[in-house]
Structure 1
């Protein structure tokens, strides 16, 4: 199969990132798989030895991220697709009770790391007049819910950043897409957020949530559209989910 181009996927070791990486390889791309866990990346390389270039990367370390990009081998430097997938939610406590370090980690990973990496990559895309930046947002950036606080705010930032990025790139052929999933199971998301296996299972009890494969399919579809078509944003939910109603507190 002829190589269609080079993609960089962050958070590539598990969940959305792993499925997106595998799908893009099957679609004909070579993928720079970036994540913190080296052993997970090695598993991807074993599965696709000719198509994966592993990079150990922590999105909280912006200097390290920049160094990793600058040290890519020549044949991997012309990145055509950037998938900003790495991100996390920590806790569901209300604002008065949440840990400030948890807030800082979400902001540093979901916002600062994402915008820095995008800045490092976008110059090459502009120079080559070719590229597609995709970010994994969330419906939490649109619909507030108890305990969503800073996590939701980071995803609202991503949504607006991506719209502004598209505006700044007007007049270029570079495409910009924000994908905003709702309830999605089969990943580490709730395990990381709640730090409790049983509570994480309860999040999906009695539902048929979206899957990481659904997200990978969506990325594949967006990337595969004709070059003149730009999908600004996709909001997606499982059929068991709907936007919540406006909450009202009533005195008893």
Structure 2
């Protein structure tokens, strides 16, 4: 039986005395694309922050490749093979594009290199000497994705993958994600574009009020979208 890349089981988590997640569960298998959907404020980002050790769960377990990583430090989670593209991009503003890509890079035979990152997003190569502050929002998102890929992750996690981007840039991001999926990279993605998510994902997880509200395959989603969309802002 294949071991999940990530398994979150019964996670309770929050901020201070305010609980946000209640027995939250999530699983991603090798090579699988999974979406995490829900209305604003339902706990999507909190789920990702708990996964990456930025918040410590008060109950439940988080396993990465079968290893217990509950409450592990963020650098240990990253070293275990998870790459994170956070909401808001958070590129290094005073580093150039190329310096951003190299700052946290980890080599792997046959893995991601500068040439491969520039091949995915040619616009970044054109701006390789530009500071992070000199990039548009879309270019910053491309840089954030490419920077995460340069860590050569087994699982790429994107929070609000195309939020606030122009349609032409959104299309470029979705095309890149589809290409990564075709290459066999496992991806966990948060976004509001149900149509785009349904085209690229194998399985979907919907969260409401910090709890798992619905999960199913794309075939199940397409057979009866009301099961998922009643929990979404559409």
Q: Same fold (TM over 0.5)?
A: no
Report the structure number with the largest CA radius of gyration.
Answer: 1
The answer to which structure, 1 or 2, has the higher relative contact order (CA under 8 A, 6+ apart) is: 2
Q: Which has the higher helix share?
A: 1
TM-score class normalised by the smaller sequence:
0.3 to 0.5
Query: TM-score, structure 2 length as denominator?
Result: 0.37
Q: Which has the higher strand share?
A: 2
